[in-house]
Amino acid sequence: MTLPGKILRFFVKLVFAISAVIVGFGLLMLAMVVLALSWLRALVTGRKPAHAWIFGRFQGFPATGSWPGTPAVRPAAGSAQGEIVDVEMREVPDARNERRLP
């Protein structure tokens, strides 16, 4: 390969490397801004961030089968099946009418 070809190849690699760093840094900054806004919203509203609820849903997958069409995990033969108890209903007051901050 000739010298001008090597120089051109070096600059193309350099441009791609710099572009990759800029895109990676931009995605990192975007993730940090979204996280900060999520925390700020949680502080203002007093609710858990949505990502805690979403990832909590995945904890049930091992017991129900991870993929559609796969059999669910069944309890071992002879294991005790728990008793089903209904929950007593009670009224939850609407907290939206109260001020959150003193």
pTM across the whole model: 0.46
What pLDDT score was predicted for residue 38?
85
**pLDDT at residue 85 is higher than 60:** yes
Going by pLDDT thresholds of 50, 70 and 90, the confidence category of residue 23 is very high
**pLDDT greater than 70 at residue 73:** no
Question: Pick the residue with more confidence: 47 or 25?
Answer: 25
- Three-state secondary structure readout of 16-43: HHHHHHHHHHHHHHHHHHHHHHHHHHHH
Nearest-10 Cα torsion for 42, 46, 53, 35: 10
Q: Please, are residues 63 and 75 in contact by the beta-carbon 8 Å criterion?
A: no
Predicted confidence (pLDDT) per residue in 38-66, tens digit: 889 888 988 776 665 666 666 655 555 55
pLDDT the model gives residue 1: 75
Kindly report the average pLDDT of the chain as a whole number.
77
